[in-house]
Homo-oligomer: A and B are copies of this chain.
């Protein structure tokens, strides 16, 4: 019998309690022992919850109860969650989490404590919600040298972009609809501006390439600047607009990691990852390419991943699982500005300026070319160049959008 504590009774925490209760029998079969929730720690009261009897506001109860061997942290953020996670690990308990912010910012340190205490710190749910990705990367692709990982890592922004593509919605309307449906928070900044995707791509880069990538140090651009025109121009070029987190290893061993809207080809599998779904592509030198697809967020999918980690922690109580990454050197992260890519540009500047800067170039759209084309703007795709080179060429331009193209 494994007794666990759940910290934070929000969407994911309550989902964890529900799934453990609902699938009790099959979970016991898979874990080879019963798993039950002994405490739920939350500062709020939930008198009407079926789990009300397990509620406490006092974390030290959990900390000091030797019967509790696994702690689920679904508080989120880096303050209380960080404190409780540290203390739980130091008390010799395994910790399972869906908290990408904490894993991305303090995972390296927390994994070191877990190692020292011979317990596990597991975070399958921190990236891709219910999609199995952390364990496949750390256990199934171990024969490979991985060179790239990228994907649609945020369901909120993918929902908004999908609405813009499929229904021709404007950004603001699509955001409001996402909020109405509960897919976006009232303060959607972390999703919209790409910070959530940044945390996730850093965790994936940590695991894929073995060294710590700090989400505060990578280039991050969200979707708040994307317009219906960008969507339409991309479509005419045979592409779809998607917000991607991407990390790849350079020949010199350094890593380029960033978040940005991309134009991706309509024939790529990721282009059919629509709505709130996530899709993650991993490239290895033996495997080639693999993709993992599923619900990137939501109560039950995320709980599915958390509870699988709980089962794994129960099965490995005396045998720490090897998972982790090393500290990185000062210059480990390559400069985003130096990476050669093709670029999509939308500009209010004129044909003469474009010609002077880029020479002969196929335009995707020119003013008034068709109903829906901007009345005063051009869109075009550049040859491969670095962002630094591009910025040089675009000096003095009225630049409205600027996204990488992933062929």
Chain A residues with CB under 8 Å of chain B are 15, 19-20, 22-23, 26-27, 29-32, 124, 130-132, 135-136, 139-145, 210, 267, 269, 272-273, 284-295, 298, 300-301, 303-308, 310-312, 315, 319, 322
- For A300, the chain B residues whose CB sits under 8 A away are 286-288
Question: Can you spell out 19 A-B residue pairs with CB atoms less than 8 angstroms apart?
Answer: A22-B286, A23-B144, A23-B285, A26-B145, A27-B143, A29-B210, A30-B143, A135-B135, A136-B140, A139-B139, A143-B304, A269-B272, A286-B303, A286-B304, A287-B294, A288-B295, A290-B292, A315-B322, A319-B319
CA of A232 to CA of B254 in the docked complex: distance in angstroms? 49
Q: For the complex formed, measure the closest distance between the CB of A380 and the CB atoms of chain B, giving whole angstroms.
A: 28
- For A26, the chain B residues whose CB sits under 8 A away are 144-145
- For A124, the chain B residues whose CB sits under 8 A away are 140
CA of A124 to CA of B143 in the docked complex: distance in angstroms? 13
CA of A22 to CA of B310 in the docked complex: distance in angstroms? 36
Q: For the complex formed, measure the closest distance between the CB of A14 and the CB atoms of chain B, giving whole angstroms.
A: 13
Choose one: B23, B291, B295, B301; the contact of A294 (CB below 8 Å): B291
Q: For the complex formed, measure the closest distance between the CB of A22 and the CB atoms of chain B, giving whole angstroms.
A: 8
CA of A322 to CA of B31 in the docked complex: distance in angstroms? 9
**Does A301 contact B322, Cβ atoms closer than 8 Å?**
no
- For A306, the chain B residues whose CB sits under 8 A away are 143
CA of A143 to CA of B27 in the docked complex: distance in angstroms? 6
CA of A291 to CA of B290 in the docked complex: distance in angstroms? 10
- For A15, the chain B residues whose CB sits under 8 A away are 286
**Does A289 contact B284, Cβ atoms closer than 8 Å?**
no
Q: Which 6 residue pairs of A and B lie closest in terms of their CB atoms, listed nearest first?
A: A143-B307, A132-B140, A290-B294, A286-B304, A291-B293, A30-B142
- For A140, the chain B residues whose CB sits under 8 A away are 124, 132, 135-136, 305, 308
CA of A29 to CA of B256 in the docked complex: distance in angstroms? 23
**Does B143 contact A311, Cβ atoms closer than 8 Å?**
yes
Which residue on chain B has the smallest CB distance to residue A32?
A: B322
Given known A-B contacts A286-B303, A286-B304, A319-B319, A132 and B141 have beta carbons under 8 A apart: yes
CA of A29 to CA of B124 in the docked complex: distance in angstroms? 21
**Does A304 contact B287, Cβ atoms closer than 8 Å?**
yes
**Does A130 contact B288, Cβ atoms closer than 8 Å?**
yes
**Does A295 contact B287, Cβ atoms closer than 8 Å?**
yes
Which residue on chain B has the smallest CB distance to residue A27?
A: B143
Choose one: B143, B272, B307, B310; the contact of A23 (CB below 8 Å): B143
- For A143, the chain B residues whose CB sits under 8 A away are 19-20, 23, 27, 30, 303-308, 310-311
- For A312, the chain B residues whose CB sits under 8 A away are 139, 142
Given contacts A143-B304, A269-B293, A290-B295, 7 further A-B contacts (CB under 8 A): A130-B290, A139-B312, A286-B300, A286-B304, A287-B301, A287-B304, A288-B301
Which residue on chain B has the smallest CB distance to residue A30?
A: B142
- For A32, the chain B residues whose CB sits under 8 A away are 322
Which residue on chain B has the smallest CB distance to residue A267?
A: B272
Which residue on chain B has the smallest CB distance to residue A269?
A: B272
CA of A141 to CA of B26 in the docked complex: distance in angstroms? 11
- For A22, the chain B residues whose CB sits under 8 A away are 285-286
CA of A285 to CA of B130 in the docked complex: distance in angstroms? 11
- For A305, the chain B residues whose CB sits under 8 A away are 140, 143, 287
